[in-house]
């Protein structure tokens, strides 16, 4: 089944990446470095927002040197506590790309040689905010940056609006993640919705062959007041030629839809059974796609070579269960069994 969660870094990759940034920060581009640092240091505030600088992930400094900058990042200081200090070459009030006259950079360098960093620290207050806003402007139109941090970005909200989940009261109510439905917003936003679109969504989500069969007939129970009882005589249900129906059910030849799933391996087949892990997502997607207006049933097709032998007393998922996992198999099957049909 397709992955339904946001991208995350493994427990191995995060320390490796952090070590690379510590040792050779100049090999990273500025936006790439800041983006990864914000993903690693999740317990602090994002830069360019309205957090106090002491709570932000990074503290930006400008490199006071007047030498030609070989890279965007000059260096990094990673304290055990507090914000990470990142010194850049490409932007600032002073330094190789500074907007102030060259004299200020020379003056700051002279003060630093005497271990007096007061003036540089004062100007770095403005450098920090200026560089933070520069990064925030870059991130604003790249929705995936905030999305990968687990935040709700504007584009995701727009897609939620398109598929009918724009309000918070409608979100997080399905047996599939809302983010999974956003991936299919192009198909879900089209009206009227087609059987081909449902096939594409289900086959991609579950990564198995799916075929949607339309106009499948089914019996539907009548409401109690629509059943012919010959009691009062004034009901339309008791008037011959008007509403009399023999029995308490009626046959509807066109309102049902059958979702044919497979051929499947035995493991996949067990997942799609009503007690399997794929049943609820299948039910949720079909109900959401039809707005609950149509009746669905699933037909599971098992590969003939995967059919298990029926052995009484066998325990476990592959044990015999009448109507689900029970086949009288004494010779190799000539076709893929597809007798398992149930409502979803």
pLDDT, tens digit, for every residue of 266-323?
999 999 999 899 999 999 999 999 988 888 999 999 998 888 877 666 666 666 677 7
Is residue 263 assigned to a domain? yes
- DSSP category for residue 170: G
Residue 48 · residue 136 · CB < 8 Å: yes
**Residues 6+ away with beta carbon under 8 Å from 24:** none
The helix (run of H) or strand (run of E) holding residue 297 is: strand 295-302
pLDDT digits (tens, 9 = 90+) for 55-101: 899 999 999 998 898 999 999 998 888 889 999 999 999 998 889 99
In a domain, 4, yes or no: no
Residues 47 and 112 in one domain: yes
* 226 and 161 in a common domain: no
Same domain for 235 and 108, yes or no, is: no
Looking at the structure, tell me whether residues 121 and 248 fall in a common domain: no
Per-residue pLDDT at 6: 44
**In contact, 90 and 133? CB cutoff 8 Å:** no
- 327 falls within a domain: yes
Mean pLDDT (the chain) is 85
Does one domain contain both 28 and 111? yes
- The whole domain housing 180 covers 155-190
Residue 6 lies in a domain: no
- Say whether pLDDT at 5 is over 50: no
Enumerate the β-bridge partners of residue 250. Answer: 220
The reported pLDDT for the residue numbered 315 is 63
Q: Are residue 184 and residue 201 in the same domain, yes or no?
A: no
Per the structure, how many domains does the chain have?
A: 3
Write the CA distances from 171 to 164, 165, 258, 296, integer angstroms.
9, 6, 27, 23
Residue 240 confidence class, pLDDT cut points 50, 70, 90: low
Is there a domain that residue 21 lies in?
yes
C-beta of residue 201 within 8 angstroms of C-beta of residue 285: yes
Please indicate, yes or no, if residue 229 is contained in any of the structural domains.
Answer: yes
Q: What angle do CA 14, 16, 20 make, to 5 degrees?
A: 115
Is the domain of 300 the same as that of 224? yes
DSSP bridge partners of 264 = 302
| Res 259: pLDDT | 96
Answer whether residue 22 is part of any domain.
Answer: yes
Query: Which band of pLDDT confidence, cut at 50, 70 and 90, is reported for residue 328?
Result: confident
Q: Are 213 and 89 members of one domain?
A: no
The answer to whether position 217 is within a domain reads: yes
Residue 237: its pLDDT value, please? Answer: 64
Q: Please state, in angstroms and as integers, the Cα–Cα distance from residue 174 to each residue in 170, 177, 183, 288, 303, following that order.
A: 9, 7, 15, 8, 30
Regarding whether 221 and 326 lie in a shared domain, the answer is: yes
Q: Give the confidence band of 170 by pLDDT, cuts at 50, 70, 90.
A: confident
* Residue range 134-153, pLDDT digits in tens: 999 999 888 888 888 777 78
Among 148, 177, 203, residue at a domain's last position: 148
What integer is the mean pLDDT of 95-119? 92
336 and 199 part of one domain: yes
pLDDT of 200 over the 90 cut: yes
């Amino acid at each position: 089944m397709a992955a339904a969660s946001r991208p995350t870094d493994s427990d191995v990759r995060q320390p490796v990446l952090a070590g690379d940034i510590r040792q050779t920060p100049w090999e990273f581009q500025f936006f790439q470095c800041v983006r990864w640092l914000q993903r690693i240091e999740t317990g602090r505030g994002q830069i360019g927002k309205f957090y106090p600088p002491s709570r932000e992930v990074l503290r930006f400094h400008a490199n006071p040197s007047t030498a030609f900058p070989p890279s965007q990042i000059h260096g990094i200081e990673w304290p055990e506590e507090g914000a990470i200090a990142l010194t850049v070459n490409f932007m600032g009030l002073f330094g190789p790309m500074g907007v102030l006259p060259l004299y200020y950079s020379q003056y700051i360098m002279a003060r630093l040689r005497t271990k007096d960093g007061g003036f540089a620290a004062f100007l770095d207050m403005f450098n920090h905010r200026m560089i933070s806003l520069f990064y925030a402007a870059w991130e604003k139109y790249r929705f995936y940056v905030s999305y990968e941090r687990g935040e709700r970005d504007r584009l995701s909200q727009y897609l939620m609006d398109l598929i009918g989940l724009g309000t918070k009261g409608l979100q997080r109510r399905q047996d599939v993640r809302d983010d999974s439905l956003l991936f299919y917003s192009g198909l879900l936003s089209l009206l009227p919705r087609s059987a081909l679109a449902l096939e594409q969504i289900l086959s991609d989500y579950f990564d198995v062959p799916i075929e949607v069969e339309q106009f499948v007939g089914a019996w539907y129970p009548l409401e109690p007041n629509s059943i012919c009882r010959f009691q009062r005589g004034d009901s339309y249900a008791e008037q011959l030629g008007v509403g009399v129906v023999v029995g308490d059910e009626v046959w509807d030849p066109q309102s049902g839809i059958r979702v044919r799933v497979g051929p499947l391996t035995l493991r996949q087949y067990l997942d799609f059974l009503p007690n399997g892990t794929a049943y609820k997502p299948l039910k949720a997607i079909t109900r959401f796609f039809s707005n609950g207006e149509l009746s669905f049933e699933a037909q599971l097709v098992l590969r003939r070579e995967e059919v298990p032998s029926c052995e009484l007393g066998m325990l476990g998922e592959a044990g015999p269960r009448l109507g689900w996992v029970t086949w009288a198999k004494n010779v190799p099957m000539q076709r893929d069994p597809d007798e398992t049909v149930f409502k979803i």
